[in-house]
């Protein structure tokens, strides 16, 4: 699909700056995706993923409650130790109390370890489900979406954003609940022990809450913008790595570095802005906490002197106040992390909300037992309203015929193939296969009947055998080898270091362009399609190899309806019908001989190539 997209863009109208407009209608998918959604809606959607694990969540939060209450017992035991045992010099009672405190802390640790294990296991299952849904949804989106959306940003949503969301669910949720429970528990304990000391300890609390809310509102948007910039940076890196050969060939390392630096600086600036507010919370929370301790020390000391409180009570309040500031600081930190995670969750859900432009009709039927009768009826199509790419196109390909499409670059040839593959839908007219409108068929069944060989071959980082087998996953090794022999690829494959088991590097860069094209043809032969599409399938091979490929292609096309896009006119002499396309219209049609006799556009193209081929043959003879 990526190869097809590259061809599509050549036929799209240019706008200012040389940029090409996105898919049909010129809609900007990125603008639609950047529209923020509300936090409540995001949380509700997250809860749907957690709902199947509600029993485990009840257990987890029960463990949080128990472990938090056990933690809260510590300061009370400290004060009890001072007032009842240390001041009374009761060593036996103190030892028993210390043993009880140790048991309580160990039990709390064991419970927290257990709940962490339960949460991690549950969250990883949720993340697996979300990754499957997101990746599966991407497979349903239309080609126009991928034309308009940077691949690096999509990768960022599948990795960075989901990782942030996983951390939120695995750690932050339980920490948030534990922190809130600790705050409530501390307040209850303090007021139950001494009302006036508790009231004094609460003096700073409203300021802490106000500050957390004030800063938190300003962090969410900053983190969301930062996540978006990270996606853009990933997209820039993906493009640079993919085009490294071109960058080196043209000596554009400096310009590439300058462009990357610009994007990197913009990301840095947004990151600084997002983190500035986030880093304010911990130190200021520390200041509030110290102020609270100072108030408690002054008020508590005065009450001890008056005999209204004991030293153990002051120690208990001191420990509770320190613990009170801890959850508040933790909640401040968590707020920033939660905002970042929710920003990532919004981006994930926005992608899941994208609706494919090309969808099966509710009553779509499967395309089976294809005869190969293809009809274009007055087809009109444009990527952008008012800028037609194809106008009033009509032709009929009978079963088993070969239809060649020729014409200048941007004439609309690849668009015809895109419409036939239903990467886009026609805006007017109809395309029929075996008498049925293309839109009435299921997309999956339609594309299973198509065999496509493109000029820009895409190979996976797998063995040669597996790359060929991609045409039909259930093919045996012998069937793969037979297809390679039919495509005249077996000989060069066996010369590779490990033959059919040779591992290909990314995009098959350890093979020549001609060898990659031979593998693509082999893959199409193995697929055994009912309809065949060849887009400059022999453009990147030498003359001798071209002859062998032509023989293989003729055997492959026999009995199949085939559509061949060709600039090299010598490769389509045997076509049943040649359609000459210019500016989205068929200006000539007929066989090779008929078009030459007309002495029109095709005749001029043929003569110009014939002269060029004569020069090339002379050069080859000299080289020989």
Both 340 and 409 in one domain: the answer is no
CATH of the domain at 334: 1.20.1560.10
Task: Please report whether residue 539 resides in a domain.
Answer: no
Q: Residue 154: CA atoms inside 13 Å, Cβ hemisphere, count?
A: 18
Last residue of a domain, one of 321, 352, 383: 352
Tell me the per-residue pLDDT of 311-335, one tens digit each, with 9 for 90 and over: 777 778 777 777 776 676 677 667 7
User: In the chain, how many domains are there?
Assistant: 2
Above 70 in pLDDT, residue 30? no
Both 383 and 289 in one domain: the answer is no
Task: Please report whether residue 39 resides in a domain.
Answer: no
Task: Please report whether residue 339 resides in a domain.
Answer: yes
Task: Please report whether residue 81 resides in a domain.
Answer: no
What's the CA gap between 156 and 338, in Å, rounded?
A: 18
Among 389, 263, 277, 393, which residue's Cα sits nearest to residue 336?
Answer: 277
The beta strands (E) that lie in 365-493 are given as 374-381, 390-397, 402-406, 428-433, 436-437, 450-453
Last residue of a domain, one of 320, 352, 384: 352
Both 340 and 406 in one domain: the answer is no
Show Cβ contacts of residue 345 under 8 Å, excluding neighbours closer than 6 positions.
42, 45, 46, 161, 165, 168
Above 70 in pLDDT, residue 13? no
Tell me the per-residue pLDDT of 256-267, one tens digit each, with 9 for 90 and over: 888 888 888 888
Q: In which domain, by residue range, is 137 found?
A: 118-352
Mean pLDDT value across residues 564-574 = 78
Mean pLDDT value across residues 389-406 = 92
CATH of the domain at 576: 3.40.50.300
Task: Please report whether residue 524 resides in a domain.
Answer: no
Task: Please report whether residue 147 resides in a domain.
Answer: yes
Confidence of residue 393 (pLDDT cuts 50, 70, 90): very high
What's the CA gap between 370 and 433, in Å, rounded?
A: 8
288 vs 582, higher pLDDT? 582
- Give the strand pairing for 428-433 and 374-381: antiparallel
Tokens of 554: 């003729």
User: What pLDDT is recorded for position 184?
Assistant: 86
Both 378 and 332 in one domain: the answer is no
Task: Please report whether residue 503 resides in a domain.
Answer: no
Tell me the per-residue pLDDT of 331-361, one tens digit each, with 9 for 90 and over: 766 776 777 788 788 888 888 888 887 888 8
Both 221 and 273 in one domain: the answer is yes
pTM: 0.62
Identity of the highest mean pLDDT range in 166-170, 269-273, 416-420, 564-568? 416-420
Confidence of residue 306 (pLDDT cuts 50, 70, 90): confident
Mean pLDDT value across residues 546-575 = 77
Above 60 in pLDDT, residue 214? yes
Task: Please report whether residue 126 resides in a domain.
Answer: yes
Q: Which segment of 218-227, 374-383, 438-447, 590-599 scores lowest on mean pLDDT? A: 218-227
Q: Which segment of 85-94, 430-439, 527-536, 556-565 scores lowest on mean pLDDT? A: 85-94
Mean pLDDT of the chain: 79
Reported as type and span, the H/E element at residue 192 is: helix 173-193
Both 298 and 419 in one domain: the answer is no
Both 290 and 217 in one domain: the answer is yes
Tokens of 53: 């694990």
Both 165 and 125 in one domain: the answer is yes
Both 284 and 418 in one domain: the answer is no
Above 70 in pLDDT, residue 1? no
Among 1, 413, 577, 442, which residue's Cα sits nearest to residue 433?
Answer: 442
Both 319 and 296 in one domain: the answer is yes
Both 342 and 371 in one domain: the answer is no
Coil vs helix vs strand at 531: strand
Both 331 and 398 in one domain: the answer is no
Tokens of 225: 């913008």
Tokens of 220: 């969410």
Confidence of residue 541 (pLDDT cuts 50, 70, 90): low
Above 60 in pLDDT, residue 19? no
Above 50 in pLDDT, residue 620? no
Q: How far is CA 603 from the centre of its chain?
A: 48
Radius of gyration of the chain, Cα coordinates, nearest whole angstrom: 35
Confidence of residue 403 (pLDDT cuts 50, 70, 90): very high
Last residue of a domain, one of 352, 376, 404: 352
Among 434, 369, 431, which residue's Cα sits nearest to residue 398?
Answer: 434
Mean pLDDT value across residues 156-183 = 81
């Amino acid at each position: 699909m990526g190869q097809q997209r590259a061809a599509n863009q050549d036929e799209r109208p240019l706008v200012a700056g040389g940029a090409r407009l996105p898919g049909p209608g010129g809609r900007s998918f990125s603008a639609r995706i950047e529209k923020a959604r509300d936090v409540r809606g995001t949380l509700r959607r997250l809860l749907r993923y957690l709902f199947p694990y509600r029993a485990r969540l009840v257990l987890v939060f029960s463990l949080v409650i128990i472990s938090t209450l056990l933690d809260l017992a510590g300061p009370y035991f400290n004060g009890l130790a001072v007032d009842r045992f240390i001041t009374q010099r009761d060593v036996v009672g103190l030892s028993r109390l210390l043993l009880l405190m140790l048991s309580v802390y160990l039990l709390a640790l064991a419970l927290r370890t257990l709940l962490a294990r339960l949460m991690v296991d549950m969250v990883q299952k949720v993340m697996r489900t979300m990754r499957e849904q997101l990746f599966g949804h991407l497979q349903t989106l239309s080609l126009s979406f991928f034309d308009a959306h940077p691949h690096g940003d999509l990768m960022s949503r599948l990795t960075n954003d989901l990782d942030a969301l996983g951390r939120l669910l695995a750690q932050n949720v339980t920490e948030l609940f534990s922190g809130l429970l600790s705050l409530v528990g501390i307040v209850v304990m303090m007021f139950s022990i001494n009302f006036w000391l508790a009231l004094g300890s609460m003096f700073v609390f409203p300021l802490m809450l106000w500050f957390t809310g004030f800063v938190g509102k300003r962090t969410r948007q900053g983190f969301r913008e930062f996540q978006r910039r990270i996606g853009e940076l990933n997209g820039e890196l993906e493009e640079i790595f993919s085009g490294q050969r071109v960058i080196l060939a043209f000596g554009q390392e400096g310009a590439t570095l300058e462009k990357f630096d610009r994007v990197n600086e913009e990301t840095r600036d947004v990151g600084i802005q997002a983190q500035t507010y986030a880093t304010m919370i911990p130190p200021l929370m520390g200041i509030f906490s110290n102020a609270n301790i100072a108030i408690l020390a002054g008020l508590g000391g005065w009450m001890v002197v008056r005999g209204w409180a004991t030293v153990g009570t002051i120690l208990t309040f001191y420990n509770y106040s320190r613990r009170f500031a801890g959850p508040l600081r933790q909640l401040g930190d968590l707020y920033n992390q939660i905002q970042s995670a929710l920003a990532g969750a919004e981006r994930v859900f926005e992608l899941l909300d994208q609706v494919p432009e090309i969808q099966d009709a509710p009553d779509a039927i499967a395309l089976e037992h294809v005869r190969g009768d293809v009809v274009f009826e007055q087809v009109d199509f444009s990527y952008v309203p008012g800028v037609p790419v194809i106008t009033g196109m009509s032709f009929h390909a009978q079963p088993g015929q070969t239809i060649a499409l020729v014409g200048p670059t941007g004439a609309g040839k690849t668009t015809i193939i895109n419409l036939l593959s239903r990467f886009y839908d026609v805006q007017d007219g109809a395309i029929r296969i075996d008498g049925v409108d293309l839109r009435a068929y299921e997309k999956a069944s339609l594309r299973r009947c198509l065999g496509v060989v493109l000029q820009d071959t895409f190979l996976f980082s797998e063995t040669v055998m597996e790359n060929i087998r991609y045409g039909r996953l259930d093919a045996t090794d012998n069937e793969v080898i037979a297809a390679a022999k039919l495509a005249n690829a077996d000989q060069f494959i066996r010369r590779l270091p490990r033959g059919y088991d040779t591992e290909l590097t990314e995009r098959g860069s350890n093979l020549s362009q001609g060898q990659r094209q031979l593998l693509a043809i082999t893959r199409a032969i193995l697929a055994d399609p009912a309809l065949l599409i060849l887009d400059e399938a022999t453009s990147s091979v030498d003359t001798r190899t071209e002859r062998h490929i032509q023989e293989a292609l003729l055997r492959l096309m026999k009995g199949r309806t085939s559509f061949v896009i060709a600039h090299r006119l010598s490769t389509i002499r045997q076509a049943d019908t040649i359609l000459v396309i210019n500016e989205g219209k068929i200006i000539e049609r007929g066989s090779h001989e008929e078009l030459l006799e007309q002495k029109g556009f095709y005749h001029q193209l043929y003569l110009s190539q014939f002269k060029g081929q004569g020069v090339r043959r002379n050069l080859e003879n000299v080289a020989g």
